[in-house]
Amino acid sequence: MEAGFAVLIGFIFAASIYLMLSRQLIRILLGISILGNAVNLLIFTAGRLEREVPPVIPDSSLVPVGATANPLPQALILTAIVISFSFFAFLLVLAFRTYQELGTDDANEMRVAEPKGEARPPMGY
Amino acid sequence: MALFGVDYTVIAVLAPFAAALAAPTMVRVFKHNAAWVLAIVPALVFLHFFRYVGAVSHGETFTEGFAWVPAYGVNFTFFLDGLAVLFALIVSGIGTLIILYAGGYMKGHAQQGRFLSFLFLFMGSMLGVVTGSNLITMFIFWELTSITSFLLIGFDHLRTASRRAAMQALVVTGGGGLALLAGFLMIISVTGKREMADVIASGDVLRESALYTPILIMVLLGAFTKSAQFPFHFWLPNAMEAPTPVSAYLHSATMVKAGVYLLMRLNPVLGDTSAWMTVLPLFGGVTLLVGTLLAVRQSDLKMMLAYTTVASLGLLVMLTGAGSEVAIEGAVLYLFAHALFKGALFMVAGLVDHETGTRDLGRLGGLRKAMPITFLCAVLAALSMGGLPPFIGFIAKEVLYEGTWNLAGRSELLTAVAVTGNALMLAAAFAVAFKPFLGKPTKTPKPAHEGPVLMWIGPLTLALCGLAAAVGVGWSGPSLLGPMAGAVAGVPVEGDYHLIPAHIGAPLYLSLVTVAAGLFVFWQIDAVRRGMAGVLKAIGWGPDRGFDQFISLVVRFAGAFTAIVQPGKMQIYMNTVFVVVAAALLVPMIYYGEGPSMPTMPDFRFYEWLVLALVVIGIIAVLAARTRLIAIVSLGIQGFAVAVLYMLFGAPDLSFTQFMVETLSVVILALVMTRLNLTAKDNRPFSETISHMIIAIAGGIGFGALLMAVTQVPFDSRLSDFFAANSRVVAHGRNIVNVIIVDFRGLDTLGEISVVMVTGLAILALIRIRSRGSKVPGNPPTGGPLKPVSEPHPEVAS
């Protein structure tokens, strides 16, 4: 099962990288959103898969009974999902405001920090 | 000798740094008279080192200080022998006079406190160089002198010429300093010794080492740049942009001698080889001739003196490398004499400049009536510089001629060079000392008058010292000069010199020739100057222009390089990042053959296949979407499918969170996207599509293969087992994931919530700060009136 997940995750990574290499801000954002899922699934799979049994201790026991899913990656991912979401929301607004200010969604055209044809550094002393 | 466990020598070296701290406040309180108070510090330092004279002249040496970084063998130690003590006396003694002089010279200057502060910083650094024992400590002081020199040359930083000269000096001497560091590190690695005293006692170890040549090259680079040897001499005349106290102190008497000091210091272990005895006289001799020839070409007092300093340094290097004890004695005597007369002459030049408003020889004349004390200082110093009796310069010249005359093999050549150089130096000295004072009084920018006592006490003292040292050579020879020459030569030297030559021999005849030739050049100096100017014009290029070309080349290269690595195109940065990521994943895996083994067909159930297919379909739809709505909805499909995967594999909490987050993402994305006039079509050119696909697929394979390889090794479940075992027992919770989040890793969760909160605030700020107009002309913002569309409440998600 893990191998199957690995193939799927490789595919998701490839798709997100391809989207992020685009020039359009929106595609980059879509790529980042997908990248978050890819990373989460990577962590999830690296902790090994277990069908259907959540890591919950029955009322009658002090420790889990039988095999359960691995709780540790789940805790990590839970944090990661929330953080990546807030990151995504921030980037989205940032992209939106950038578009408003610069009038373009082409990342290559955003040259405020590194203007085109920037003058050479000063030659004097 | 120690105070509270700290050796006095350590205190003496650090005292100028303390004075540097106090100087600005002192100047604020006492105005320019603060110099009188501040000069006490170097005077005390002078007295401290003077106490060593007796013991050192008997061949004793002292090491003081303490361990600094013992783990690396770096110690804050100081080594005192004849060489170090005389140098320390020169630095602190002339330093005292320079501080006084600077008090008068910079009187009323708004930044006088800062100026004195820099001077003290330099003084401390220079004391550290000449007394430093640990090679690393000495290197640090060495570089500090370069930095303080930079600060002082560029003191008048509003003028371009000052800034250029300061930078030039820093680049040349700082660059040489780096070479010196390499040399020192090689010396440490060859000898295994870090203290100067041990290194110079190491005998033939360095000479016989295979690293001798690289060590020699690196040390010479450091010494030649610092001591302005041809072809690195050009920074020193430019350094005359500094206020005159700096020229007198750093750029004639002390700092530029650091290179000579280094050569003298290492002479016992690096010298006496054919390379040493070829390279040093060669560069020194050329520097001597070039320096003197350029000196007589100048018409500015300070420039003239600067070039004679270059020449004198050349002479010193030549004598140090001549390879005979007498030549070294000559070098030591000349070094001492030079510090006295050149310091005095620079201060005279500064006095003339200060009181008349010009330093141009053509505009000065007849000042002897208006400035009698200055004239006296000038004459006394110039006679010493010209090598005339009864001054120390005369004795120095006699000894150095004796040294070059008796050399085996190359004596004719070196003697000829020395005589030519000395004759031209005499001409330059007389031009500086007599031209402005004799003849008819001229009209100067300021009406000429004698300078204040603060300004003439320095040159007068130095000039009189030059006389006293010669008259009292019976004491100064064996006490100061002999021990120093002994330390340089590596064998004891008596220091038995005479003002009246003991016998009439070659040196005396050579002196007569020198004086005659010098007087002739002085008589014809205008013609010589015109001739030299013509020659220089014919050559047209010099290292000074070369420096400009070099700097321009560096700046152009930096510009071109930056244009390549920072082209300003986001796509190129992203490409680079992901190429590196893919390479980092794949290359080690392939190189070490640690890739995953071939997996078997996974045993997914029917509905699991369906959900996996849903993820793939969602992503393909995102990739292929032609309108933004399809892209957003497809993104949602992919996200929900992942949520279902979590559900199927025992992670209901994740599943729930993922559902919430995906819903919110889709809603927010839809809200923002409807406000943006974007083409959802991916309009990359075909070639880009292919290269991006290759990068993306390589990255995907990298991550997939890595994960597959990881899951094929046995799982270490210790940490998970810990949580499973303790969740209920210790933390009293049955849902282990929740217990980890809120209990075991509660602080992490607090951090996570903080991140979300800060992000929310940042989003709010971004939206609230209204656009101050479009920054791209002709491209007005297209977004409609804004509402805070994407103010998230992601807390609900966790």
Q: pLDDT tens digits, residue range B384-442?
A: 999 888 899 999 998 889 888 888 777 888 899 999 999 999 999 999 888 889 888 88
Measured from the Cβ of residue B638, the count of other Cβ atoms closer than 10 Å reads 26
In this prediction, residue B410 carries a pLDDT of: 77
Question: What is A2-51+68-109's CATH number?
Answer: 1.10.287
Q: Is a pLDDT exceeding 90 seen at residue B308?
A: yes
Q: Is a pLDDT exceeding 70 seen at residue B206?
A: yes
| Digit-coded pLDDT (tens) for B39-57 | 999 999 999 999 999 888 8
Backbone angles phi, psi at B77, to 5 degrees: -120, 155
CB of A65 less than 8 A from some CB of B: no
In this prediction, residue B677 carries a pLDDT of: 61
Give CA–CA dist A54/B778, Å, rounded.
58
Average pLDDT, chain B: 88
pLDDT above 90 as % of chain A: 38
Average pLDDT of span B62-84: 89
CB of A60 less than 8 A from some CB of B: no
Give CA–CA dist B32/B113, Å, rounded.
9
In this prediction, residue B279 carries a pLDDT of: 93
CA distances, B359 to each of A48, B111, B239, B399, B571 (Å): 86, 23, 16, 34, 60
Q: Is a pLDDT exceeding 50 seen at residue B780?
A: no
In this prediction, residue B542 carries a pLDDT of: 82
Inter-chain touch A44–B692, beta carbons under 8 Å = no
Q: Are the C-beta atoms of residues B97 and B458 closer than 8 Å to each other?
A: yes
- Give the number of C-alpha atoms closer than 13 A to the C-alpha of residue B722, restricted to the C-beta side: 6
In this prediction, residue B540 carries a pLDDT of: 81
What is the residue whose two structure tokens read 């491209």? Answer: B779
Burial class (CB in 10 A: 0-12, 13-18, 19+), B130: buried
Give CA–CA dist B141/B127, Å, rounded.
8
Q: Is a pLDDT exceeding 60 seen at residue B344?
A: yes
CB of B756 less than 8 A from some CB of A: yes
Give CA–CA dist B375/B348, Å, rounded.
8
Helix (H) or strand (E) holding B80: strand B74-80
Cis upstream peptide for B231 (omega within 30°)? yes
pLDDT above 70 as % of chain B: 94
| Digit-coded pLDDT (tens) for B163-186 | 999 999 999 999 999 999 999 999
CA distances, B638 to each of A37, A41, B659 (Å): 9, 12, 11
Inter-chain touch B736–A94, beta carbons under 8 Å = no
Q: Are the C-beta atoms of residues B249 and B148 closer than 8 Å to each other?
A: no
A48 CB neighbours in chain B (<8 A) are 711, 715
Positive/negative CA dihedral, B345, B351, B353, B356 = negative
AA identity, residue B573: Y
Chain B contacts in chain A segment 4-33 (CB below 8 A): 4-15, 17-27, 29-30, 33
Residue pairs between chains A and B whose CB atoms are closer than 8 Å = 334
CA distances, B354 to each of B9, B342, B349, B371 (Å): 36, 18, 8, 12
Give CA–CA dist B625/B613, Å, rounded.
18
Cis upstream peptide for B390 (omega within 30°)? yes
DSSP class of residue B250? Answer: I
Inter-chain touch B619–A12, beta carbons under 8 Å = yes
Measured from the Cβ of residue B597, the count of other Cβ atoms closer than 10 Å reads 9
| Digit-coded pLDDT (tens) for A46-100 | 988 888 788 888 888 888 888 888 889 999 999 999 999 999 999 988 888 888 8
Average pLDDT of span B706-728: 89
CA distances, A78 to each of B277, B639, B663, B727, B797 (Å): 75, 15, 16, 17, 9
Backbone angles phi, psi at B78, to 5 degrees: -130, 140
Q: For A76, name the nearest residue in chain B, comparing CA atoms only.
A: B741
Q: For B561, name the nearest residue in chain A, comparing CA atoms only.
A: A120
| Digit-coded pLDDT (tens) for B535-586 | 888 888 888 888 989 988 998 898 888 888 888 888 888 999 999 999 999 9
B652 CB neighbours in chain A (<8 A) are 54
In this prediction, residue B166 carries a pLDDT of: 93
In this prediction, residue B474 carries a pLDDT of: 85
Inter-chain touch A51–B650, beta carbons under 8 Å = yes
In this prediction, residue B770 carries a pLDDT of: 62
In this prediction, residue B4 carries a pLDDT of: 59
Average pLDDT of span B609-629: 89
Residues B324-339, buried b or exposed e (16+ Cβ, 10 A)? bbbbbbbbbbbbbbbb
Q: What residues form DSSP beta bridges with A56? A: B735
Higher pLDDT, B88 or B492: B88
Higher pLDDT, B605 or B684: B605
The whole-model pTM stands at 0.78
Q: Give the contacts of B543 (CB within 8 A, at least 6 positions apart).
A: B231, B232, B233, B234
Tell me the domain boundaries of chain A. Answer: 2-51+68-109
Inter-chain touch A71–B724, beta carbons under 8 Å = yes
Give CA–CA dist B617/B636, Å, rounded.
11
For residue A68, the SS3 value is: coil
Q: What residues form DSSP beta bridges with B62? A: B80
What is the residue whose two structure tokens read 């959103």? Answer: A33
B653, B704, B760 member nearest A10 (Cβ): B704
Strands B62-69 and B74-80: antiparallel
CB of A35 less than 8 A from some CB of B: no
| Digit-coded pLDDT (tens) for A9-50 | 999 999 999 999 988 888 888 899 999 999 999 999 998 888
Q: Which of A107-116, B119-128, B765-774 has the highest mean pLDDT?
A: B119-128
In this prediction, residue B779 carries a pLDDT of: 42
Strands B6-7 and B2-3: antiparallel
CA distance B108 to chain A (A): 28
A83 CB neighbours in chain B (<8 A) are 752, 755-756
DSSP class of residue B76? Answer: E
Inter-chain touch B664–A85, beta carbons under 8 Å = yes
Write down how long chain A is.
125
In this prediction, residue B792 carries a pLDDT of: 45
Helix, strand, coil percentages (3-state) for chain A, rounded to 5, are: 60, 0, 35
A20 CB neighbours in chain B (<8 A) are 574, 578
